[in-house]
Amino acid sequence: MTMQDPKETEAELVAAVTGAETLEALEQVRVAAIGRKGRVTDLMKSLGAMTPDERRTAGPLLNGLKDRISTAIDTRRAELEEAALEARLQEEHIDLTLPTRPEMVGSVHPVSQVTEEIIAIFADMGFTLAEGPDIEDDFHNFTALNMPPEHPARQMHDTFYLSGEQDGTRKLLRTHTSTVQIRAMMSQPPPHRIIVPGRTYRSDSDITHTPMFHQVEGLVIDRTTHMGHLKGCLIEFVRAFFDVDDLPYRFRPSYFPFTEPSAEMDIGCARSDGELRIGAGDEWLEILGCGMVNPRVLENCGIDPNEYQGFAFGMGIDRIAMLKYGIPDLRAFFDSDLRWLRHYGFSALDVPTLAGGLAR
C-alpha cells in the first residue's frame, strides 16, 4: 500500500486547521483529520498491515503527527472562542451614558426639589438627616408624644390603621413625622439635632389635603437650647427658603400635646388679583407648628428633663412647595400628569445649595 508522505499530510491538515474561520469549520476539519474515518485515523489503521520493521519507524511518526494535529486544533479552537466572545461583547455592549430617548427629558418633582432645599438649609445649621418607617405603632405615633389612649388630639389625625395583629394591637400609617423624634431620642443619648423629611398619611382629601402627603420634622435637644434658639432657627430658615431677607413673621401661641409652650409660625404675604406674593403685605400665612419639647415626652424617652431641653417643629413640605412655586392644587402633585411635571418640575442638574442658590 502506498502511503502519502506524512509530512505532506501534516502540512495540508495544519493549513486546513489554521484556515478554519469558524468553530463549525474547525469541527469539520477535526472530523476529517482525527475523527473515526479521518485521514490521520486511516493512517493509524494502516499500521496494522505493516511489517514490524515498517511499524517501528512509521508508528512514532504517525503518533507525532496525530499529537501535533490535535494540539493545532485545540489552539485554533481557543483562538476562535476568544474571538467569538470578543465579538459578542462588542455586539452586546451598551453605552449607559447615552440618553435613551433624547426627546424625552425627565424632571425632578417639586416635592423632591423642596425637600432637598430644606435639607440644604438645615444641614448648613448643623442638623443631620434622620428617617423612620412609614408603618408605625401607636406608641411612637401617639403615646410617647404625650397622646395616651383616649387623648382628644388623636381624633384630629384621621389615622389609617392596618388590620390587627394576633395580640390585638394594630399598626398604623404614621400621621406625622414626629414619630422620628421618639425613635431618635430612644436610640441614642442626647444631644440631638436632626431634620426628618418623609411621607405621612391621613384619611383626608380635598384641594389642600391628600391621603398621603409630606412633612419635615426638626428636633434639637441639649442642655441649654431655649425658645430664642427656636425662633432664630426658624426665622433663618423661612428667609433662606423663600429667599426674602426681610420676610415678616410672627409666632402665635398654639397647642400641641408634645410641646410646651407651643406656637405656630406665620409669614407675611400679599394677595392681589388672585396672586399670592410671599413677603411684606397685610396678610399672614401659617406655615409650621413648633414649641419646646414637652418634659413628659423627654421622660417617655428616658431623658431627664431636669438636665435636657430643646425644641421641635413640623411643617408640610407640599404646602410650602405650593407657596414657593405658586402651584395651585395639591392633588395635582400626585396625578403623574406629564404636562404638569414638565411645567412644575426641575432639571436634575438644579441641585439646591446655599452657595449656588435655592430658587430657580
Q: How far apart are CA 335 and CA 341, in angstroms?
A: 9
User: Which is closer to ligand DAH, CB of 176 or CB of 192?
Assistant: 176
User: Which is closer to ligand DAH, CB of 38 or CB of 314?
Assistant: 314
Residue type, 243: D
User: Which is closer to ligand DAH, CB of 20 or CB of 195?
Assistant: 195
User: Which is closer to ligand DAH, CB of 44 or CB of 125?
Assistant: 125
Radius of gyration of the chain (CA): 39
User: Which is closer to ligand DAH, CB of 115 or CB of 259?
Assistant: 259
User: Which is closer to ligand DAH, CB of 201 or CB of 346?
Assistant: 201
Minimum distance from residue 190 beta carbon to ligand DAH (Å): 16
**Pattern 184-223, ligand DAH, x by CB under 6 A:** ---------------------------------x------
Check the CA dihedral 131-220-291-121 and report its sign. negative
**Pattern 277-296, ligand DAH, x by CB under 6 A:** ------------xxx-----
Neighbour-count burial of 13, counting CB atoms closer than 10 A to its CB (0-12 exposed, 13-18 middle, 19+ buried): buried
Contact 14, 73 (CB under 8 A): no
Residue 314 interacting with ligand DAH (CB under 6 A): yes
Region of 9-17, 130-138, 240-248, 309-317 interacting with ligand DAH (CB under 6 A)? 309-317
Region of 70-78, 114-122, 241-249, 311-319 interacting with ligand DAH (CB under 6 A)? 311-319
Residue 327 Cα to chain centre, angstroms: 26
Our CA angle for 295, 227, 119, nearest 5°, is 95
Contact positions with ligand DAH (CB under 6 A) in 84-113? none
User: Which is closer to ligand DAH, CB of 62 or CB of 290?
Assistant: 290
Q: How far apart are CA 262 and CA 27, in angstroms?
A: 86
Choose which of 120, 269, 312, 330 interacts with ligand DAH (CB under 6 A): 312
Q: How far apart are CA 3 and CA 61, in angstroms?
A: 13
Grid coordinates representing 89? 461583547
Contact positions with ligand DAH (CB under 6 A) in 168-187? 176, 178
Contact 293, 207 (CB under 8 A): no
Q: How far apart are CA 270 and CA 263, in angstroms?
A: 23
Contact 222, 185 (CB under 8 A): no
Residue nearest to ligand DAH (CB): 314
Minimum distance from residue 108 beta carbon to ligand DAH (Å): 25
Our CA angle for 234, 114, 272, nearest 5°, is 80
* SS3 assignment, position 349: coil
Furthest C-alpha separation in the chain: 122
User: Which is closer to ligand DAH, CB of 176 or CB of 193?
Assistant: 176
Region of 66-74, 113-121, 308-316, 333-341 interacting with ligand DAH (CB under 6 A)? 308-316
Minimum distance from residue 291 beta carbon to ligand DAH (Å): 5
**Pattern 231-270, ligand DAH, x by CB under 6 A:** -------------------------x--x-----------
Contact 171, 136 (CB under 8 A): yes
Q: How far apart are CA 351 and CA 359, in angstroms?
A: 10
User: Which is closer to ligand DAH, CB of 242 or CB of 256?
Assistant: 256
Site residues for ligand DAH per CB under 6 A: 176, 178, 217, 256, 259, 289-291, 312-314
